[in-house]
Amino acid sequence: MWSNDPMAATVYDICIVGSGFGGGISAYALTQLGLKVALLEAGGRLRAGVDYGHHLKPWEMLERRLAAGFTSPVDSAWDLREKDHFTGVGDRPDHGWLKALGGRSLCWAGHSLRFGPGDYKRWPISYDDVAPYYTRAEKFMGVYGYKDGLWNMPDGAFSKGVPMRCAEMMLKRGVERLKKKGARMEFVAQRKAMLMERHPSGRPLCHFCGKCGGCCVDAKYTSANTPIPAAMRTGRLTVLTDAAMTRILKTQDGRLVTGVEYTNSKGQTERLMAKALVLSCNSIETPRQLLLNNLANSSGQVGKNLTSHFGVHVIGVFNDLIDRRAPNDEGTGYYHSLLTGLYWDEPSKEFENTYQVQCGAGLLPWRLVSTPRGYGSAFKKSVYEENAAQAGMNMQGTLVQSPRKFVDLDSDKKDRFGQPRVRVHLHYEDEDIRMAQDAVNRCEEIIQAGGGRVVATPGRIDASKLIIDYNHWVGTTRMGTDPRTSVVNTDGQSHDVKNLFVGDASVFPRYPEKNPTLTNVALSWRMAERLAEKMKRGELA
């Protein structure tokens, strides 16, 4: 049921805080297993195609967008994200937080890549432990893709794939030519959680409008359109929106959590009692809540081990394509292809982690990538040709974990409840810069090998040119088998407080180059099942 006034006398089996990827799938899994669940979400409900996601023409949309402070006439659920909830320290950290039912799943790009056996070598669990949950997650979310046979980005339960555009094929050509000279890398089509075939959820099929950041019909998987409605249908889920947790309630000895205190939409303080608590707030807010409540941190690792993806952009133009008359290039968002397989078999000597490169192309008037010099008819001709023939390469590398990247509390700045805001500390290391330089050099090489010319590149890299991925933070409540060096165990359960679990990407102990969401959903699903088993065995009391 929907509620802003939960039954005060009710003690829920589970309280989940946060309704994004981790919280949504946890609510689904736990209610399927017969447990009574309350789901707290700090934001309200947003409706696809109403509150975000419009198909108005740009001239119809422009004024309302300018009036709202945006410059693009294309709207996205991203436009609704919080921006003033954290303090950045160092090299321009940023954080995306969409306070709404479904959280950032409303505005994600849909990329759904499995971590591979090689990635799990540095985890306390193996690929085989997670593989069944990947398969379930792919089916449940509706992931499309092609079978590529890559050992460290395994194929999954895909619906039919979506092909690349012409300029992406030029990049693929460049990759294949370099592979013939000994380069070790792969170029494949993307895998995304957007419906290409009928799906049990009843979500409509993708109609290829390209505005995936605010999918107007819910063809893209979100927590709000698939797991939460399914959990609601069990009759065992209560969803509380506009409910911001302000305190975690504990037993007197602090050994167990008993529920949460939260502020409702009227500003009133309420309590919700539960036998177990799942934090699915995100990799910045979950450690903040643990630090605020002085909870689950005997290891001192809460907020540490922070990492994310970062990158740079390189753009090429292929003369073979400059005369093409544009078809409908929109598809499923800009990136239809992926450069991957880099340093899987033989790690770099220059940096510990690796990177992938998300690639896109197409004549997309709202996303012109090239503004040539000059004016007049020659300029007009160049604008068309360069944008019709462009391919963009967006490096996505993994930041090395270091003591200079972490999350803590800001004692100087408070949120609206008077509690310390979170500080995000980001300082790029030389190793990060070396990786980005490697990526830039490689992208330029691929464009040229494919017959193109580089029209935009950061060139020589320094920290000022790096762009942080504000959605991909992980690591701040890392899992491990040793309570002295990790926050949660391999089931996502706090080492210190046995009825406290974490269901988000903050549990990732190490981070490959691949996008985090599919693994977040798979691991949260696994966590929820482990939680339910432990509860039924009476191990959480």
DSSP code string of 368-407: -----S--HHHHHHHHHHHHHTEEEEEEEEEPPP-TTSEE
Q: Does 211 bind other proteins (CB under 8 A)?
A: yes
Residue 200 CB, shortest distance to other proteins, in Å, is 12
Residue 415: helix, strand or coil by DSSP? coil
Q: Does 459 bind other proteins (CB under 8 A)?
A: no
Q: Find residue 264's DSSP bridge partners.
A: none
Position among 59, 266, 346, 418 found at the interface with other proteins (CB under 8 A): 59
Q: Which residues contact 447 (CB under 8 A, 6 or more apart)?
A: 171, 174, 314, 316, 391, 393, 453, 454
- Helix (H) or strand (E) holding 37, with range, is strand 37-40
Q: Which residues contact 400 (CB under 8 A, 6 or more apart)?
A: 307, 351, 352, 353, 429, 431, 432
Interaction with other proteins in 90-149: which residues (CB under 8 A)? Answer: none
Query: In terms of CB distance, is 53 or 509 closer to other proteins?
Result: 53
Distance of CA 506 to the CA centre of its chain: 11
* H helices, E strands: number in the chain: 9, 19
- 188 contacts 350 by C-beta, under 8 angstroms: no
What is the pattern of x (binds other proteins, CB under 8 A) and - over residues 151-190?
A: -----------xxxxx-xxx--x--xx--x----------
Q: Find residue 468's DSSP bridge partners.
A: 310
Q: Does 379 bind other proteins (CB under 8 A)?
A: yes
Q: Which stretch binds other proteins (CB under 8 A): 6-14, 42-50, 396-404, 521-529?
A: 42-50
Query: In terms of CB distance, is 190 or 506 closer to other proteins?
Result: 190
Q: Which stretch binds other proteins (CB under 8 A): 43-51, 83-91, 485-493, 508-516?
A: 43-51
Position among 36, 54, 192, 425 found at the interface with other proteins (CB under 8 A): 54
Position among 368, 430, 481, 484 found at the interface with other proteins (CB under 8 A): 368
Query: In terms of CB distance, is 211 or 275 closer to other proteins?
Result: 211
Q: Which stretch binds other proteins (CB under 8 A): 94-102, 230-238, 325-333, 432-440?
A: 325-333
Position among 3, 251, 366, 453 found at the interface with other proteins (CB under 8 A): 366
Query: Distances from the Cα of 515 to the Cαs of 109, 266, 362, in angstroms?
Result: 10, 37, 23
Q: Which stretch binds other proteins (CB under 8 A): 200-208, 240-248, 347-355, 400-408?
A: 200-208
Query: In terms of CB distance, is 214 or 492 closer to other proteins?
Result: 214
Query: In terms of CB distance, is 175 or 245 closer to other proteins?
Result: 175
Query: Distances from the Cα of 141 to the Cαs of 56, 112, 156, 188, in angstroms?
Result: 28, 9, 12, 21
Structure tokens at 112: 């759904």
Residue 64 CB, shortest distance to other proteins, in Å, is 7
Stated length of the chain: 541
Q: Does 319 bind other proteins (CB under 8 A)?
A: no
Give the other-Cβ count within 10 Å of 180's Cβ: 9
Q: Does 386 bind other proteins (CB under 8 A)?
A: no
Q: Does 381 bind other proteins (CB under 8 A)?
A: yes
Q: Which stretch binds other proteins (CB under 8 A): 22-30, 65-73, 474-482, 533-541?
A: 65-73
Query: In terms of CB distance, is 330 or 469 closer to other proteins?
Result: 330
Q: Find residue 454's DSSP bridge partners.
A: 316
Position among 374, 441, 533, 539 found at the interface with other proteins (CB under 8 A): 374
Q: Rounded CA gap, 358 and 340, in Å?
A: 9
Residue 215 CB, shortest distance to other proteins, in Å, is 10
Please work out the total of residues on this chain that contact other proteins, with binding judged by CB under 8 A: 69
Query: In terms of CB distance, is 210 or 311 closer to other proteins?
Result: 210
Q: Does 363 bind other proteins (CB under 8 A)?
A: yes
Longest dimension (CA), the chain: 77
Query: In terms of CB distance, is 8 or 67 closer to other proteins?
Result: 67
What's at 108, amino acid-wise? Answer: W
Please, what's the b/e burial string for 479-511 (b: 16 or more CB within 10 A of its CB; e: otherwise)? Answer: bbeeeeebbbbbbbbbbbbbbbbbbbbbbbbbb
Query: In terms of CB distance, is 171 or 243 closer to other proteins?
Result: 171
Residue 360 CB, shortest distance to other proteins, in Å, is 12
Q: Does 482 bind other proteins (CB under 8 A)?
A: no
Query: In terms of CB distance, is 277 or 315 closer to other proteins?
Result: 315
Q: Which residues contact 365 (CB under 8 A, 6 or more apart)?
A: 58
Residue 171: helix, strand or coil by DSSP? helix
Contacting residues toward other proteins, per CB under 8 A: 48-50, 54-64, 66-67, 73, 162-166, 168-170, 173, 176-177, 180, 198, 202-205, 207-211, 216-219, 320, 325-332, 336, 363-366, 368, 371, 373-377, 379-381, 383-384
